[in-house]
Amino acid sequence: MEEIVLRKMSKDEFENYFQNKIERFSDVLSENIHEQGDEPSTKALKQLKGLLPNGIETPNHHIFDIQRGEKVIGFVWLKIEEEKKSAFLYEIYIFEEYRGKGFGTETMNHLEDFLIQKEIYYFKLHVFGNNTGARKLYEELGFEIAGINMLKPLSKK
């Protein structure tokens, strides 16, 4: 079996990724964020542009294609704060047809090796509560809950 490789995205690949990310993030926001205000697509664009004001050239952000052989099977977006010895995983995204085959675990192991080489001691991420597949993966990899946001929808009585 071919091993996966994390390959830094080109500017053109990033432009495609960013447009795709806006759509996917908008869907996630509409499912998980329960508040009035901007449309999910507007909110997604604002947040992503805020996080990546210089696109792929934004300092400390590392955006990779997950590649297996000649095929790209997903994406990784990571921010490293060397002074804090910490990294935050913004996204690991495995294309639907490659899920459940161990590629998420393999990618996370590659990321851990990458971070250890950079002398990063803390690896953080956020996962929505209803994303049970991702939560299971992260728990199996040794991630622990650092905090819990809770929500109760209210209606007029």
The tens place of each residue's pLDDT in the chain, 157 residues long, gives 689 999 999 999 999 999 999 888 888 777 766 556 668 788 888 889 999 999 999 999 999 999 999 999 999 999 999 999 999 999 999 999 999 999 999 999 999 999 999 999 999 999 888 888 889 999 999 999 988 888 777 877 6
pTM above 0.75, yes or no: yes
Domains and CATH numbers, the chain: 4-140 (3.40.630.30)
* CB under 8 A, 24+ apart: contacts of 134-140: 137/104, 137/105, 137/108, 140/105
Helices (H) and strands (E) in the chain, counts: 4, 5
| 7 residue type, one letter | R
